[in-house]
Amino acid sequence: MKKAWALTKIYINSLYGISGFINSFKTNKKSAFKTIALILLILIGLLGTASAFIIYNIQLYDILRPINQQGIIISNSFIFAAMFTLIFGIVGIIATYFVDKEGDIILSMPLKPWNLLFAKFFTSYLYEAVLSLIIMATGVIVYGVKSGEGLLFYIISFIVSLLIPVIPLVVSYIVIIPLMKVANFLKKKDVVMIISGFIGALFGVVIQLSFQDTMMKMNKNPEVLREIFTFQNGMVSIASRIYPPSTWGTYAIIDISSTRGFTGLMLLLLTAAVAVILLHCFMSEMYLRSLIGSTEVRKSERKMTEKELKMGLRRRNILTSLLLREIRLMNREPIFFLNGPFVIFLIPAILGAMLFIQRDVIAAQLGTILRYNTSSYYSTLIVAGMGAFLGSMSSIASSAISREGKAFMYLKSMPIEPVKYINAKLLHAGIFGVMAGFITCAIGYFLMGVTIGGLMLAFIISQLLMLPSFICGLLLELTWPKLIWDNPQKAVKQNINVVIIIFGGMIFLYGTAAAVYFLLKTPIYGYLVLTIVLAVINVVLYACLISYGRKRFYEIEA
């Protein structure tokens, strides 16, 4: 056990860079100040997103209270938390499966297979636990405050929230370890990593849809309906037919003093413990074997013909060539891809499914906001906002220079115009931004019924809204690139520029939304002012980027 913990600490530091944070607090006041500023930024960004959930839960509580079904809020949050931890668990596990060339170093240490698996399991658990706590908090706090619950309620909620990710995480490992074993056997690690990412996302969506399906069938069944309304919080028990732990957890939280509450908690604890033990008993060996030899890559043994060589050597203009290099380097490194462009496909898959499931509730809520004839105005802007949100989540621009790593220095020895280099990076982010725009427009069309005209406007505004986050990301990267790394994880996941842009971008979007809501109430005038203001911001920012980048490019030293 001691060895497992020691390894866990190594992983935690290597993946989250926590000791660096702590050190900066101890030694350097200036960088400690930066850290605090960063944490504040994250909190404000998160609060904005969480507030949407909180408002939703408050309204739900008021609707459900009269029929005594307010427990749904807790079971809803539980299911969301479990679903999110499942999907993020799968993607997160894939992205952190191979750490720091461990195939060679850590495997040579005298560790038992289960030590290795436990260390990795616990490291991914930490991240998931935080995610679960945040999601649960949006429901628990609303319920707790509204029902005037005491301390015990919050303590139990905390414990339950910590238990939620365990089962999804065990499931994720059971799905992924065999996949990685195959990947290792085929020596096609990268391809399998990316494919498993998609499988994970798909898996999550399928689970959500089948959940939705079961709910529908039950609602039509009079037997079930009677059961729901005759018992207090009877609706909660329905969830158990799909995912029993959610009922155990909910009863534990809302009713710990009763038998069903207490047994719920015990059942939850027991299941989590058994799941973890079973995972380590049966999968450790396979996990180890999936790591051995993982640093090998497959070579093509085929000889190259004259013709192939000639075909491969095509002259392109320098901007195209730079752009092509960007796209290849990002998409072929699974860690870059999963943390970057992949997000553009993952988030819509999750949100789309969520919107689909809850479309009646959301339509009702939107209806109250969207009275008068301005409904198309606001739904257009909501689509634009979602597109911009998605585009700025890709991290392509905000990790653009860090991703080069040590090769950046070599790149600097080449006769490349800094302006072209920067434009290629911006274009790369822009291409995926356009994709994000299209995806959200599709969501707007199929789920929200926005008109084609509205979608065209939404598309343009979404591009104007996300462009500042690309440009600011590049400005940050030019100023503080993180070029020294041995694990690509460090250029994206542990890159402060990425974090600043994701949360700064959220704050920018909330700010814009508030400004539009209070200042730009009429459509024509609103579109016009918004477009012009955003266009001016973008032109000014771009001019800054070019004049700064032209000089700064030559000053970057590792």
Binds other proteins by CB under 8 A, chosen from 39, 406, 528, 539: 406
CA neighbours within 13 Å on the CB side: how many for 278?
Answer: 13
- The CA distances from residue 53 to 48, 302, 315, 336, 521, in Å, are 9, 55, 52, 30, 24
For 388, other C-beta atoms within 10 Å of its C-beta total: 29
Distance CA 331, CA 334 (A): 7
Binds other proteins by CB under 8 A, chosen from 348, 405, 505, 549: 405
Q: Which of 116, 97, 326, 331 is nearest to 200 (CA)?
A: 97
Nearer to other proteins, 326 or 477 (CB): 326
Cβ at position 407, least distance to other proteins in Å: 5
Q: Which of 215, 244, 213, 267 is nearest to 82 (CA)?
A: 244
312: Cα separation from own chain's centroid: 37
* Interface size with other proteins, residues (CB under 8 A): 39
List the interface residues with other proteins, window 238-297 (CB under 8 A): 297
Binds other proteins by CB under 8 A, chosen from 41, 218, 329, 546: 329
State the binding string over 85-124 for other proteins (x if CB under 8 A, else -).
----------------------------------------
**Helix boundaries (H) for 302-358:** 306-312, 318-332, 334-339, 341-357
- Please tell me whether residue 328 binds other proteins under the rule CB under 8 A: yes
- The window from 260-268, 401-409, 444-452, 528-536 that contacts other proteins (CB under 8 A) reads 401-409
Distance CA 106, CA 488 (A): 18
Nearer to other proteins, 424 or 476 (CB): 424
Nearer to other proteins, 370 or 411 (CB): 411
- Please tell me whether residue 32 binds other proteins under the rule CB under 8 A: no
Burial state string for 188-202 with b = 16 or more CB within 10 A and e = fewer than 16: ebbebbbebbebbbe
- The window from 67-75, 237-245, 343-351, 411-419 that contacts other proteins (CB under 8 A) reads 411-419
Cβ at position 301, least distance to other proteins in Å: 8
- Please tell me whether residue 435 binds other proteins under the rule CB under 8 A: no
- Please tell me whether residue 307 binds other proteins under the rule CB under 8 A: no
Residue 320 in contact with residue 472, Cβ under 8 Å? no
- The window from 364-372, 415-423, 489-497, 499-507 that contacts other proteins (CB under 8 A) reads 415-423
Nearer to other proteins, 128 or 333 (CB): 333
Binds other proteins by CB under 8 A, chosen from 292, 332, 446, 543: 332
- The CA distances from residue 483 to 41, 77, 408, 428, 478, in Å, are 24, 40, 7, 20, 11
Cβ at position 330, least distance to other proteins in Å: 9
Nearer to other proteins, 244 or 418 (CB): 418
Cβ at position 195, least distance to other proteins in Å: 17
Cβ at position 191, least distance to other proteins in Å: 12
Residue 16 in contact with residue 487, Cβ under 8 Å? no
Distance CA 400, CA 362 (A): 37
Residue 430 in contact with residue 327, Cβ under 8 Å? no
Task: Label residue 36 exposed, middle or buried (CB < 10 Å: 0-12, 13-18, 19+).
Answer: exposed
State the binding string over 176-205 for other proteins (x if CB under 8 A, else -).
------------------------------
Nearer to other proteins, 294 or 380 (CB): 294
Query: What are the E-state strand segments in 6-76?
Result: none
Nearer to other proteins, 32 or 419 (CB): 419
- The CA R_g of the chain, rounded to the nearest whole Å, is 25
Distance CA 55, CA 34 (A): 31
3-state secondary structure of 267: helix
- Please tell me whether residue 30 binds other proteins under the rule CB under 8 A: no
- Please tell me whether residue 150 binds other proteins under the rule CB under 8 A: no
Binds other proteins by CB under 8 A, chosen from 26, 27, 360, 557: 557
Nearer to other proteins, 274 or 324 (CB): 324
Distance CA 361, CA 358 (A): 5
What are the structure tokens assigned to 485, written together? 């790394």
- Please tell me whether residue 308 binds other proteins under the rule CB under 8 A: yes
Nearer to other proteins, 112 or 406 (CB): 406
What are the structure tokens assigned to 104, written together? 């060679």
- Please tell me whether residue 29 binds other proteins under the rule CB under 8 A: no
Distance CA 28, CA 70 (A): 49
**Helix boundaries (H) for 148-188:** 151-163, 166-186
- Please tell me whether residue 303 binds other proteins under the rule CB under 8 A: yes
- Please tell me whether residue 62 binds other proteins under the rule CB under 8 A: no
- The window from 14-22, 40-48, 115-123, 313-321 that contacts other proteins (CB under 8 A) reads 313-321
Binds other proteins by CB under 8 A, chosen from 1, 309, 452, 524: 309
**Helix boundaries (H) for 187-293:** 189-220, 222-230, 234-242, 244-254, 259-291
Binds other proteins by CB under 8 A, chosen from 46, 47, 407, 514: 407
Distance CA 23, CA 32 (A): 9
- Please tell me whether residue 27 binds other proteins under the rule CB under 8 A: no
Binds other proteins by CB under 8 A, chosen from 66, 312, 371, 452: 312
Binds other proteins by CB under 8 A, chosen from 102, 128, 255, 333: 333
DSSP string covering 366-390, please?
HHHHT-GGGHHHHHHHHHHHHHHHH
Cβ at position 355, least distance to other proteins in Å: 36
Binds other proteins by CB under 8 A, chosen from 104, 213, 285, 417: 417
Q: Which residues sit at the interface with other proteins, rule CB under 8 A?
A: 297-300, 302-304, 306, 308-310, 312-318, 321, 324-325, 328-329, 332-333, 405-407, 409-410, 412-417, 554-555, 557
